[in-house]
Structure 1
């Protein structure tokens, strides 16, 4: 921010509310556009999110996955059943406890997540390359702020 830009503490309440509203709408619109870049249109957003969590953090139990995704275990069970049926997730017995069932992405599930990430990154990269160097710098700074907001 330059010296003339107000700091967040000096923004009037109505301006903070307007900025928050505009940010939320822009973020939602960008999210919808990115969702369109999936490699598989047949999965729901919840199914793809669960698959991505398993890709990043797996293998996980059903309860761990439902906690991570902030849904109930019965709801996650339906999601996992659909992913298993689509051969994107596999159930395996835990090595240290045969009573526990672990969920992990299959080779096809891993490939789907990788391809979707590549499509989304390429879509964004094409648009970022069209920005001026100044806009790219602002975007880099905004990205750090967005990460802070997401982690708070």
Structure 2
């Protein structure tokens, strides 16, 4: 015999999992895991190449920011100059980045993306954007609004 009260028509349905209250620690943990899983999944959508994620990130930085020195790229990617030098060597060997002497200072080397590198970055961006867009199309209008607001919050977090 059950000692639970009989269901009432005024009883609210349980809150969806995303609506439950979480502590800041739980939310930060869940957010970090979900963000990491999504980032790994999106990284799988790339043009056919043998680049590591670090190499592609460096290539993307030169693509996005334009010609730059090795030290500037190291700072941007938050790695040591010797580590970035190995990454750039691989990109140069693959024909994706060129090194040239700086017009202002002959001691400095400036990195630029080659036409092959440009095509690779553009194709990978297209694949990744298409993958996400196909999933966003499956969301309800309310979910899209929430995603838009969350995207703005994520940008704030990333820039803080």
Please, what TM-score do these two structures have when normalized by structure 1? 0.89
Q: Deviations over 1:18-56 (max 9, x none)?
A: 111100000000001000001134100110000000001
Q: How many residues align?
A: 140
Work out whether 1:100 is the aligned partner of 2:104. no
**What is the RMSD computed on CA atoms of the aligned residues?**
1.2
- List structure 1 segments (4+ residues) > 6 angstroms apart after TM superposition: none
Q: After the TM superposition, which residues 106-145 of structure 1 pair with which residues of structure 2 at under 5 Å, given as runs?
A: 106-145=114-153
Inter-partner Cα distance in structure 2 for 1:83 and 1:117: 18
Gaps of 5+ in 2: 1-20
Q: Which has the higher helix share?
A: 1
Inter-partner Cα distance in structure 1 for 2:39 and 2:128: 10
- TM-superposed deviation, 1:98: 2.3
Gaps of 5+ in 1: 1-11
Please, what TM-score do these two structures have when normalized by structure 2? 0.84
Work out whether 1:87 is the aligned partner of 2:91. no
Work out whether 1:77 is the aligned partner of 2:85. yes
Larger Rg: 2
Inter-partner Cα distance in structure 1 for 2:72 and 2:96: 18
- TM-superposed deviation, 1:97: 2.1
The equivalent residue for 2:69 is 61
- SS of 2:76 mapped into structure 1: helix
